[in-house]
Structures are given as structure tokens and as C-alpha cells.
């Protein structure tokens, strides 16, 4: 085709700016409404008291975004009075609807069957799917750029005339968006897979430290950035293939050295990565709703990660670099049990709880594993009826994901005004008659304040050592916290160890309270 002559083929898709401008006004309004609902969802999810409302806002917003996208992108022209779809149109439409139905079935079944203790690994698995989707969309755009409207026709000279060839080139800006989306998505996928395996107990939660890991990680990241920049000038297959492979690799390398104590930050960080990957792919798809949603998820996840790192007295970079908890020395069972400690019974605990005026309950992952939140709330209600002041103390990194303990206590219908964050309640332990620790460990370990050699040194912890009596529910004296360090609270004079399954122990305490 000679430049300036009538086109022989259908016109290429509109550039991004023209594509957005050509959308009907109702589509732009629908995407705006979806974006507002997503913001309201994040606002609602910031508090357990409004979390259900926030979930509803998010579901409505996502429903609007999905329906609007289908209405504008479906192969059958919307608004046509007598549409005459081709067989290919019907096949594509069937594939879209089948994929939606399959995803809905998987989501409903998973939501109904998943245990609350498995929520952290489920969140990590969802993050991996978002990352993989970004990679697949990026590769689809690379292999079929005409369908995504990111083509710049390649021109050549024939007999002095400029001629458009079939060797279309992808817009350099679109290649940058594509490269970033694929890289972030691949890192999210592989990193989330490792996080899932650690959280599910399918691989050790201890840090796996490779020799020269910082040099390897830095070199790999620089190579990814260099290839992304080079991809703007050269769209050969080897460039994007190498970029993808290195991004998958760095995801594994970044998460493997991170210890179990940092898993809540890792989950939050991967959430942020998945958002940025979605935003990058939103530019490729020319979808403003996806750009806005991805940016909201990415920025909120980054802010949450920063807040949690600050709560742990750690820099974000130090957590991502790995090695938190890595220098912890091996602690043998003998070194722990040789120190004197005091064992109590459910009857002993019930007697002291009845005599108390102020009780602070500190839940941890052990409570989640034992599913003890409901019986714990029952114990709290009984004590309140007896005139005891009961409060619940939540550490920012308790459990295996942000807000894990808040979700469990909300599920057990613990009143929101009885649940306090670390900075709001830590000063009250000096007036507490009983600090009741159920399934927590690292977040009450005084080594974080006193032992500079400890891998958790500097992490803010609850001042349970200031309470008059400490009741510590633990399966056995042989185990340590997720960070792999022993806990001096076990051996304090005012500590009574209540060994056994957390749920069964609290049930026995409740029975003793009622007699």
C-alpha cells in the first residue's frame, strides 16, 4: 500500500488517547463509579467495624467494571438491533463466558471450604494468579499487537515510495508498559508461590540463604531493568523471553531468604506488586478501570508494607533483602527445657482469672491453628459477666498476614471496642493482673528489647513481663516461635505455662470457671 492511498485492510485500532476519547460517556462514568467504589472499599477495609461494608463496595465496583468491559469489548456489537455475529464471534463470546463461569465456580467453592487458618496461603495463591495473568496478557499483546492497538506500521521504500509492510512494530511506549507489566507480574507469581509454600508448611519457614545472594539479586534486577529499556529499541523474541525468565527467577530469589517472622510483610508486599502489574497491563489493554484499580491496590499495599515494617522497626529494604531471623543460632530442646519453668493447670488459670480485675489477651497464630477464637470469646464474656475488665491486644505482625488476628476475633464476634493495637495498649500491661497469651510467641519476646544478638532485636513487642501474672498457652516447651528463637517469658517467675492444644486448654478453663 502506497502511503496516502486508500487502505486495503480495516483500519488499525485507535491509539490510547483517541481510544479513550471515543468511548461512550456512559462507559467513562461507569469506570469512574467503579473507581470511587474501590476507594470506598479500601476505606471500609481499614477497620473491622466497616470491613463488611467495604467488601460490598468492592464487589459492586468490580461487578460494574466487569460488565462495562464486557459490554464494550464483547465480539457482538453492543446496541445493535439485529446483530449478526460470525461463528468466530460466537466462539470467542462462549470462551469468555465459560472462563467467567469456571472462575465463579472455583471462587465460590474455595470461599465455602477454606479454613480461616489457611487464609494467608490463599491470599498468596491469589497474588500468584494476578501476577501470572499479567504475564499472559503481556505475552498475548506481544504475539498479537494488532488486537491491542499498539502497532506502529513498519515502512520501507519501494521504487522511491514509502510502503507499509506486514512486519508491524510495537509502539515503543507500549513495549515499556508491556515489559514492566511482565517483569512485575512474573516476580509476583514466583514470589507468591514461595510464600504460599512457606505459609502452607510445604517448605521450611526458615530463611534459605544463598552465597552472594545480594550480589546475585542486584545483578539480576539490573539485568531486568536493562532488558526492559533495551526492549524499547529491539522487540526480538529473545529480549522478552530473557526478561520473563529473569523476572521469574528473581521472584524466587527475593522470597526464599525471607524468614517466617516477616511473612505478613511479604504478603502485603506481594499484594502491592500484583496491583502495579495490573496497572501496567491496564495501559496495554487501554482499560482505565484496570489502571485505577491496579494503582489503588499497588499504593495501598506499599503503604501497608511500610506501616508494618515500621511496626517491626525494620526498613522495607532490609526485609526484601532477606535474612531477617537468619542469624538466629540453633537452640536445642535441652537448652530450653533445662531452665526452670512453672507449669499450671486449667483450674489454676481459672482461679487466677476470677480474682483478676484487668485481663489482657494476646492472640497469635497458634490460636488460629487451634481454631480457639470462639471459645476464647466465650471465656472473655464469662469474665466480663464476673466484673473483670477484658481487652484484646493485637500486634501488627501477629499471624501470617496483615490483620489475621483481627479477622479471627471479628469472626468470633468479639466487640471491636475491646480490640486494641500495640501502641494503644502496651502501656496498660503494668496495671494488668493477667496477660493471657494464646498462640503468640515472637510478639511477646523480651529479647527484642534486650538482646542485640537476637534476630528480632528492635521489633516492638508487648510488655507482658510487666504484668502481675502471665499465662502462656503453648503446645509444648520444645517449640519456638516462627523466628526460631527461644522466649525468656517462659521462664519468668510470674509465668504459668499451660501446655496443650489451645482450644482444648481454653475449653477446660471455661469449664473450671463455671464451677
Does a structural domain hold residue 482? yes
Residue 101 exposure: Cα atoms within 13 Å on the Cβ side: 6
**221 within some domain:** yes
Integer Cα distance of 278 and 192 in angstroms: 15
Report whether 435 contacts 362 (CB < 8 A): yes
DSSP β-ladder status, 151-152 and 169-170: antiparallel
**pTM assigned to the model:** 0.76
Q: Which helix (H) or strand (E) holds 427?
A: none
The answer to whether 178 and 243 have CB atoms below 8 angstroms apart is no
Residue ranges of the chain with per-residue pLDDT less than 50: 1-14, 16-17, 81-82, 162-167, 324-335
User: Are 318 and 381 contained in the same domain?
Assistant: no
CATH of residue 410's domain is 3.40.50.1220
DSSP H or E run through 437? strand 434-438
Helix, strand, coil percent content, the chain, rounded in steps of 5: 60, 10, 30
Query: Could you list the residue range(s) of the whole structural domain that residue 140 is in?
Result: 119-326
Domain boundary among 326, 356, 383: 326
Tally of domains within the chain:
3
Confirm if 38 and 282 have CB atoms less than 8 A apart. Answer: no
321 lies in the same domain as 356: no
Predicted pLDDT of residue 56? 94
Q: Do 176 and 142 share a domain, yes or no?
A: yes
For 206, the 3-state DSSP assignment is coil
160 and 140 housed in the same domain:
yes
Residues 420-447 pLDDT 10s: 988 899 999 999 999 999 988 888 988 8
Both 371 and 475 in one domain: the answer is yes
How distant, in Å, are the alpha carbons of 146, 150, 182, 236, 431 from that of 143? 9, 11, 13, 11, 66
310, 371: one domain = no
Residue 82 resides in a domain: no
Same domain, 268 and 138: yes
Of the candidates 465, 96, 147, 94, which has an alpha carbon nearest to the alpha carbon of residue 285?
147
The confidence score (pLDDT) of residue 334 equals: 40
- Give yes or no: residues 367 and 388 share one domain: yes
Residue at which a domain ends, from 303, 326, 349 = 326
SS3 472: strand
Answer yes or no: do 284 and 370 share one domain. Answer: no
Domain boundary pick from 326, 341, 368 = 326
Residue 32, domain member (yes or no): yes
Q: What is the pLDDT of residue 166?
A: 45
- pLDDT of 194-213, one tens digit each? 988 888 778 876 677 778 87
Rounding to the nearest 10 degrees, give the CA dihedral for residues 498, 504, 510, 511.
-110
Residue 453 resides in a domain: yes
Task: Name, in order, each residue with C-beta under 8 angstroms of 238's C-beta and a sequence gap of 6 or more.
Answer: none
Please give the pLDDT value at position 255: 86
Quickly count: other Cβ atoms within 10 Å of residue 334's Cβ.
8
Task: Return the closest-CA partner of residue 133 out of 273, 305, 301, 288.
Answer: 273
Q: Which residues contact 15 (CB under 8 A, 6 or more apart)?
A: 149
Please state, in angstroms and rounded to a whole number, the distance separating the CA atoms of residues 416 and 405. 12
Residue at 101 is within a domain: no
Contact 402, 304 (CB under 8 A): yes
Query: What is the set of active-site residues?
Result: 442
Q: Is residue 150 part of a domain?
A: yes
For residue 96, tell me if it sits in a domain. no
Q: 469 and 345 in one domain? A: yes
- Report which of 450, 444, 448 is spatially closest to residue 471, judged by C-alpha positions: 444
Q: Are residues 308 and 338 in the same domain?
A: no
The pLDDT score that the predictor gives to residue 96 is 86
- SS3 (DSSP) at 16: helix
The set of cell numbers assigned to 110 is: 474455595
d(CA 181, CA 139): 10
Q: Based on the fold, state whether residues 284 and 348 are members of the same structural domain.
A: no
Amino acid at each position: 500500500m502506497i502511503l496516502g492511498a486508500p487502505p486495503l485492510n480495516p483500519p488499525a485500532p485507535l491509539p490510547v488517547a483517541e481510544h479513550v476519547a471515543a468511548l461512550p460517556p456512559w462507559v467513562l462514568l461507569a469506570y469512574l463509579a467503579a473507581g470511587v467504589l474501590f476507594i470506598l472499599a479500601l476505606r471500609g477495609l481499614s477497620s473491622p467495624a466497616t470491613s463488611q461494608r467495604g467488601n460490598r463496595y468492592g464487589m459492586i465496583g468490580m461487578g460494574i467494571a466487569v460488565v462495562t468491559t464486557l459490554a464494550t469489548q464483547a465480539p457482538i456489537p453492543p446496541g445493535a438491533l439485529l446483530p449478526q455475529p460470525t461463528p468466530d464471534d460466537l466462539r470467542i463470546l462462549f470462551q469468555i463466558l465459560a472462563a467467567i463461569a469456571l472462575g465463579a465456580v472455583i471462587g465460590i467453592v474455595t470461599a465455602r471450604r477454606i479454613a480461616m487458618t489457611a487464609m494467608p496461603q490463599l491470599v498468596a495463591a491469589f497474588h500468584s494468579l494476578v501476577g501470572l495473568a499479567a504475564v499472559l496478557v503481556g505475552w498475548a499483546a506481544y504475539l498479537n499487537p494488532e488486537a491491542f492497538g499498539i502497532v506502529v506500521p513498519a515502512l520501507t521504500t519501494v521504487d522511491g515510495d514509502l510502503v507499509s509492510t506486514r512486519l508491524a512494530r510495537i509502539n515503543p511506549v507500549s513495549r515499556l508498559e508491556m515489559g514492566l507489566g511482565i517483569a512485575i507480574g512474573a516476580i509476583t507469581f514466583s514470589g507468591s508461590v514461595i510464600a504460599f509454600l512457606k505459609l502452607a508448611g510445604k517448605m521450611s519457614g526458615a530463611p534459605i540463604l544463598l552465597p552472594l545472594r545480594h550480589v546475585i539479586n542486584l545483578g539480576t534486577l539490573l539485568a531486568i531493568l536493562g532488558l526492559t529499556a533495551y526492549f524499547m529499541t529491539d522487540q526480538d523474541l529473545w529480549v522478552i523471553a530473557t526478561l520473563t525468565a529473569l523476572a521469574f527467577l528473581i521472584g524466587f530469589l527475593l522470597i526464599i531468604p525471607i524468614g517466617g517472622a516477616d511473612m505478613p510483610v511479604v504478603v502485603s508486599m506481594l499484594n502491592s506488586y500484583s496491583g502495579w502489574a495490573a496497572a501496567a497491563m491496564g495501559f496495554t489493554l487501554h482499560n482505565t478501570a484496570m489502571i485505577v484499580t491496579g494503582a489503588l491496590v499497588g499504593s495501598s499495599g506499599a503503604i501497608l508494607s511500610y506501616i508494618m515494617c515500621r511496626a517491626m522497626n525494620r526498613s522495607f529494604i532490609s526485609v526484601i533483602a532477606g535474612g531477617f531471623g537468619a542469624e538466629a543460632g540453633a537452640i536445642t530442646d535441652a537448652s530450653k527445657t533445662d531452665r526452670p519453668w512453672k507449669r499450671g493447670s486449667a483450674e489454676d488459670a481459672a482461679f487466677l482469672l476470677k480474682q483478676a480485675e484487668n485481663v489482657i489477651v494476646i492472640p497469635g497464630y497458634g490460636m488460629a491453628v487451634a481454631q480457639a477464637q470462639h471459645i476464647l470469646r466465650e471465656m472473655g464474656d464469662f469474665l466480663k459477666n464476673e466484673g473483670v475488665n477484658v481487652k484484646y491486644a493485637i500486634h501488627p505482625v501477629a499471624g501470617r498476614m496483615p490483620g489475621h488476628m483481627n479477622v479471627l476475633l471479628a469472626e468470633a464476634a468479639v466487640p471491636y471496642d475491646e480490640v486494641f493495637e500495640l501502641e494503644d495498649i502496651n502501656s496498660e500491661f503494668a496495671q494488668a493482673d493477667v496477660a493471657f497469651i494464646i498462640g503468640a510467641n515472637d510478639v511477646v519476646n523480651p529479647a527484642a528489647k534486650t538482646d542485640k544478638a537476637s534476630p528480632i532485636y528492635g521489633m516492638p513487642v508487648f510488655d507482658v513481663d510487666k504484668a502481675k501474672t502471665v499465662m502462656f498457652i503453648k503446645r509444648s516447651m520444645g517449640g519456638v516461635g516462627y523466628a526460631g528463637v527461644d522466649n525468656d517469658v517462659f521462664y519468668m517467675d510470674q509465668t504459668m505455662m499451660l501446655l496443650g492444644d489451645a482450644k482444648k486448654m481454653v475449653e477446660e478453663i471455661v469449664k473450671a470457671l463455671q464451677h
